[in-house]
Amino acid sequence: MTKPPSISNRTGRKLGQKVKKGKLKASSRRWLERHINDPYVQRAKLEGYRARAAFKLLEIDEKHAILKGARRIIDLGAAPGSWSQIAAKVTGSTEDDVRVVGIDFLEVAPIPGVKLLMMDFLDDEAPKAIMDALGGTPDLVISDMAAPTTGHQKTDHLRTMHLCEVAAHFAVDVLGEGGHFLAKTFQGGTERDLLNLLKQNFKQVIHIKPHSSRAESVEMFLLAKHFKGRKAGGEDEGAAEDADSEG
């Protein structure tokens, strides 16, 4: 069961450490202190995950069982690779039988059993490259993509929501019937067109704020469960405001 880590976290490292004043700006020093004192960061190191984001996926799966029975998984915005690590484990993906494909414009260190593509998901060639590498129909499309932040909340929201929308259209194009789609969004309202697309094509659409997501973060996750299949989706099952939400 994925629970918030205890304050000691079994790492031997004390929380509440301070970073010495030096050439670092105050804002950078505060970020570094928060990072090294984050129990999820310490737990990720202890359990061999590349990033604390692993626990967001595990926490969502604990309640919604989206990884159960998954045979092939696509990881959009894979860097640094913690979600792909989990995907490879649950699918039994190996170098000889690759069942997980990750894509990111950043370089990702090799992960056993994962085919990693270093390219921008927004490139026209990306969808075909992903499917060619996967060699079959995915049961799950996961996306932790977020546009580089500008500091302007509305701009950041719109840019990340665009990535989410493109990912959603991709998921509808490639998922097998009964599959799931999970993507990062930002608080500030999910566009009606995106929610309508998902409601038309999936049986359930949920907003989630995992406990492992930092309280001050504006990120949320949009989960669409049980893909109806590409011949379905002609009906609008509700307005955007009707999407379920949990936190």
CA distance 11 to 107: 29
pLDDT band at 34 (very low <50, low <70, confident <90, very high): low
Residue range(s) defining the domain that contains residue 43: 16-47
**How far is residue 180's CA from residue 125's CA, in Å, rounded to a whole number?**
23
Q: Is residue 10 part of a domain?
A: no
Q: CA 228 to CA 60: how far, in whole Å?
A: 21
Catalytic residue list contains 184: yes
* Token representation of residue 93: 């993906």
Is 42 part of any domain?
A: yes
CA-to-CA distance for 178 and 228, rounded, in angstroms?
Answer: 6
Do 201 and 172 sit in the same domain of this protein?
yes
Q: Are 216 and 235 found together in one domain?
A: yes
**Residue 200 shares a structural domain with residue 231:** yes
In a domain, 2, yes or no: no
75 and 123 inside one domain = yes
Domain count, the chain: 2
- Smallest CA-to-CA distance from 183 within 214, 224, 230, 239 is with 224
Residue with tokens 């990306």: 126
Who's near 134: CB < 8 A, 6+ residues apart? 72, 74, 98, 99, 101, 115
> Measured between alpha carbons, how far is residue 222 from residues 93, 209, 244 in Å?
26, 9, 10
The 10s digit of each residue's pLDDT in 125-164 is: 999 999 999 999 999 999 999 887 777 777 777 888 899 9
> What six digits make up the tokens of 133?
């590498």
**pLDDT score at 22:** 55
Half-sphere exposure (Cβ direction) of 175: Cα atoms closer than 13 Å: 30
Of 47, 64, 88, the residue at which a domain comes to its end is 47
pLDDT at 25 > cutoff 70? no
Tens of pLDDT, residue by residue over 188-223, are 666 788 999 999 999 999 999 988 776 667 788 999
Task: Return the SS3 of 193.
Answer: helix
Establish if 134 belongs to a structural domain.
Answer: yes
Q: Is residue 9 part of a domain?
A: no
Domain shared by 32 and 71, yes or no: no
Identify whether 152 is part of a domain. Answer: yes
CB 225 within 8 A of CB 199: no
**138 and 214 inside one domain:** yes
Q: What is the mean predicted confidence (pLDDT) over 224-238?
A: 70
Backbone angles phi, psi at 245, to 5 degrees: -145, 145
Catalytic residue among 18, 63, 89, 184: 184
Q: Looking at the predicted structure, is the pLDDT value of residue 243 above 70?
A: no
Identity of residue 235: E
Q: By C-alpha distance, which of 171, 141, 165, 166 is closest to 240? A: 165
**Where does the pLDDT of residue 10 fall: very low under 50, low under 70, confident under 90, or very high at 90 and above?**
very low
Is the predicted pLDDT of residue 187 greater than 90, yes or no?
A: no
Does 209 map to a domain? yes
Residues 24 and 140 in one domain: no
In whole angstroms, how far apart are CA 241 and each of 45, 158, 247?
39, 18, 16
Angstrom distance (rounded) from CA 132 to CA 113: 16
